[in-house]
Structure 1
Amino acid sequence: MLLGILSGAAIHAYAAQTTITVWSENITLLTDVFLRLIKMVIAPLVFSTLTVGIMRLGETATIGRVGGKAMVWFVTSSILSILVGLVIVTLEHPGAGLNLAIPKESVDTGLAVSGMSLKGFLTHTIPTSITEAMANNEILQIVVFSMFFGIAGASLGRNSTLRWWRPLNVVSHIMLKVTGYVMYVAPLAIFAAISSVIASQGLGILLNYASFIGGYYVAVLLTSMVLLAVGYMVLKKEVFRLLNMLKDPVLVAFTTSSSEAAYPKTLERLVEFGCSRNIASFVLPIGYSFNLVGSMVYCSFAAMFIAQAYNIHLSFSEITVMMLTLMLASKGIAGVPRSALVVLAATIPSFNIPVAGILLLMGIDHFLDMGRSAINVLGNGIATAMLSKMKVCCRKRSRKKKLRLSRSRPDRRAPSLTGARFVIKKEAPNRHARGNVTK
């Protein structure tokens, strides 16, 4: 990463414009190859690991309990991250000094935006073809199909489940091995991504938006601390070991600006940490669609920044409704390019905030996306570890309860004909036995 910054800054400062263009366009080949390799393994990896995890969980009731707890936490973490972003942007006011005039005409941002629709969201969730969903890397659709497949497989009975589980388990291990090979390319991809951006735009772009970027990363850091604090309540001191083990996938997500790039490594590290592979394979893919805490911080921060830039004052009720709308609109949109920007562009016009304000952020979106991706990985890692620990605790409590019940039950030995148990007592020795009789 440091080498990428230094090389990019040197090329931007001393090379001709044509050289900068050629370098930026060609060096990104390494990043493109790495991301394509990651996308190549994502679909089969998610399908095989999630299906195997559900089949191992077995009972539908168990799947429902784990899924229900996961969704409760995802909503809670989304609300917490939105509040952190909202508090920081309100205190800092990074857009207050811009005093932009509201444009009279709409501006094309270049984003594929469609109005938020519940019908559209639900229909997009259900795949018309699993092959099409895998070809397009529609993670949410793959998750839905895998859940149906895994639940159906678990309901066939133990013998049939084992017959399907074994080959899928082999596939999941093969895909994890392939992922290990792909990760060898990660350092080169990180170097290429950083060098290309710095070479084309220079370090000055960071200075021009220093207030916004600084405030945003303060919000990201505070959100991380909140997540770690909640994780400490469940994992205790083990949360620090988890943080140390997740540093590599978080770094991959940060430098490549892609949460998907870190998925295989995150799954591997969670299993090494001690999480149940069943829980990790079940919760982590769902989290990639419903637990985008980094995107929540960004959306709340960016929406209020644009409103401040245009001197638009929103009431408390308007802010509340807008934050809830942003939270709901973000669910299941992880596979969309620049998903956070798309959510913003689809939401803020409803509150009379010019969509043209997004153009203010598009120049630095790469640097913002780095933070979004990193905290998304951290949030999903903590959520998976917490749910795995809670599942283990529930299992231990269940075993203790069964043990107490078994001990409290009366002795079920066969009764005598009179209804009482036979009690055999050892008779005391007779002092008047033979040899002790007095004359």
Structure 2
Amino acid sequence: MAEEKKSGGIGLTTQIFLGLILGVIFGYLFPSYGEQLKPIGDIFIRMIKMIVVPLIFSSLIMGIAGTGDFKKLGRLGAKSILWFELATTVALFVGLLVVNVFEPGVGVQIVSSDPSAAAAAAKKSINMMDMLIKIVPTNAVDAAARGDMLQIIVFSCFFGVATAAMGEKGKPVLQVATSIAEVMFKFTHYVMCLAPIGIFAMIAFTVGKFGLGMLIPLMKLIGSLYFALALFLFLVFLMATIIFRINFFQLLRAIKDPLMLAFSTASSEAALPSAMEKLEKFGVPRHIITFVLPTGYTFNLDGSTLYSALAVVFIAQVYGIHFPIETQLLMVITLMLSTKGIAAVPGASLIVIAGTAAAFGLPVEGIAIILGVDRILDMARTACNLVGNCVAAVVVARWENELPDEVLKVAYTKNYSE
């Protein structure tokens, strides 16, 4: 509270929330003007994206070369992947549970809001072998220009390992990377000051273009997904609290700014720099943050994974197709594989849903039914992706005994408002 008074009485989270609400009102009352605000929202997202590549590159080098212990890096990787797989499995089964209990697709009229988009998604597919090959960049500059996060992470990891292996000769590179990371965090602070304006423009455009009426026919789907995501986060918090003794209500308080940003923009990239900064203030060591968060944004998309399972069964329900539980379990195994490493693929969730639906004999055109509300669904699953990865970073830090109880006690008394 004292921090909020220092910044003029309103914290950044409150400003973002007000921008969200005012954007909805403005877009609803003045739809034509709301649509014209799209360039402002686009400029804000572009400003965020220009931060991500140098921040990830410098942070990973700093984390890997700064650690200098390759056994420790291997241990971090193993523990991260283990937690990611556990969280992903829980997400998939929560999605199945909720969609089977609430049956949001039953009674929905089959009206394709955008059949062309559904057809386009149906023609695409995600080839796992091709994706495995393409994670290795042929040109690091090209990967950075395209914003291919997976290729950037792979290059940065190799660069960091090489820097660490150079010993004293590699220290100047490490110092430069550290300085760049510090500058990018400061850069992030400046951009975040514009977040309320950018979010106001983005939400006003969305409501102005699509209207609030699009929500009514699919309110049950929206409610089911939001409930499923909340249930998943509760279960993850419960597991992590019991095993690692962390007050995750305090963690949520610490990451409330990036969480609100992720929800408002439906962009993981928008929230990543701020999330890294908040986790470091919470007490998580920087080398763990810089390793777990970028990796998680590629392999631990809990919200997107849960949504994929729920959406495929939803399509079956809409068309009245019997989709037995044993087939759904087979679908879970398919999604465990197909949702890994797709963060950089445009429209990845729709492609995965289309491919999975086709593989199990469901009408792919059913995707068009949910396209009208996909923005509302995307906001929730993006926020869930962010929280899931922040939890993973804290869990790995506790698992490595690098976030002791005394540090947590100090973190619980901090105010994280800007």
- TM band (smaller chain): 0.7 to 0.9
Please say if 1:345 is aligned against 2:354.
Answer: yes
Question: Offset of 1:176 from its aligned partner?
Answer: 1.3
Question: Offset of 1:235 from its aligned partner?
Answer: 4.4
Partner of residue 3, structure 1: 22
Please say if 1:51 is aligned against 2:70.
Answer: no
Partner of residue 233, structure 1: 242
Please say if 1:124 is aligned against 2:134.
Answer: yes
Please say if 1:315 is aligned against 2:324.
Answer: yes
Higher helix share: 2
Distance 1:115 1:338, change over 3 A: closer
**TM-score normalised to structure 1 length:** 0.83
Partner of residue 219, structure 1: 228
Give 2:173's match in structure 1, choosing from 159, 164, 167.
164
Larger radius of gyration: 1
1:273-331 CA-partner distances (Å, limit 9, x unpaired): 00000100111100000010000111011110001111121233321221221221111
Q: Distance in 2 between matches of 1:97 and 1:180?
A: 47
Partner of residue 375, structure 1: 384
Partner of residue 36, structure 1: 46
Q: Distance in 1 between matches of 2:91 and 2:195?
A: 29
The answer to whether the 8 Å contact 2:288/2:396 transfers is yes
The answer to whether the 8 Å contact 1:99/1:311 transfers is no
Which ranges in structure 1 are unaligned for 5 or more consecutive residues? 13-19, 397-439
Q: Distance in 1 between matches of 2:22 and 2:277?
A: 27
Give 2:119's match in structure 1, choosing from 95, 102, 109.
109
Q: How does 1:36-435 map to 2 (within 5 A)?
A: 36-98=46-108, 100=110, 108-111=118-121, 113-157=123-167, 159-392=168-401
Matched residue SS, 2:161: helix
Higher relative contact order (CA 8 A, sep 6+): 2
**TM-score normalised to structure 2 length:** 0.87
1:403-423 CA-partner distances (Å, limit 9, x unpaired): xxxxxxxxxxxxxxxxxxxxx
The answer to whether the 8 Å contact 2:136/2:154 transfers is yes
The residue type paired with residue 183 of structure 1 is M
The alignment-based identity, stated in percent, is 37
Q: Distance in 1 between matches of 2:369 and 2:46?
A: 29
1:329-373 CA-partner distances (Å, limit 9, x unpaired): 111111222221121122210100111000001110000000011
The answer to whether the 8 Å contact 1:101/1:310 transfers is no
Question: Offset of 1:395 from its aligned partner?
Answer: 10
The Cα RMSD (Å) is 2.1
Question: Offset of 1:393 from its aligned partner?
Answer: 5.7
The answer to whether the 8 Å contact 2:108/2:218 transfers is no
Q: Distance in 2 between matches of 1:322 and 1:116?
A: 16
The residue type paired with residue 316 of structure 2 is A
The answer to whether the 8 Å contact 1:100/1:311 transfers is no
Partner of residue 403, structure 1: none
Q: Distance in 1 between matches of 2:329 and 2:399?
A: 32
Q: Distance in 1 between matches of 2:295 and 2:123?
A: 24
Q: Distance in 2 between matches of 1:394 and 1:243?
A: 17
Distance 1:235 1:113, change over 3 A: farther
The answer to whether the 8 Å contact 2:118/2:366 transfers is no
Matched residue SS, 2:121: coil
The answer to whether the 8 Å contact 2:255/2:278 transfers is yes
Matched residue SS, 1:110: helix
The answer to whether the 8 Å contact 1:234/1:389 transfers is no
Partner of residue 414, structure 2: none
Question: Offset of 1:24 from its aligned partner?
Answer: 3.8
The answer to whether the 8 Å contact 2:125/2:352 transfers is no
Question: Offset of 1:86 from its aligned partner?
Answer: 0.7
User: How many equivalent residue pairs?
Assistant: 384
Distance 1:174 1:383, change over 3 A: same
Question: Offset of 1:234 from its aligned partner?
Answer: 4.3
The answer to whether the 8 Å contact 2:285/2:402 transfers is no
The residue type paired with residue 2 of structure 1 is I
Q: Distance in 2 between matches of 1:256 and 1:25?
A: 16
The answer to whether the 8 Å contact 2:91/2:232 transfers is yes
The answer to whether the 8 Å contact 1:293/1:379 transfers is yes
The answer to whether the 8 Å contact 1:284/1:381 transfers is yes
1:375-425 CA-partner distances (Å, limit 9, x unpaired): 1110000100110121126999xxxxxxxxxxxxxxxxxxxxxxxxxxxxx
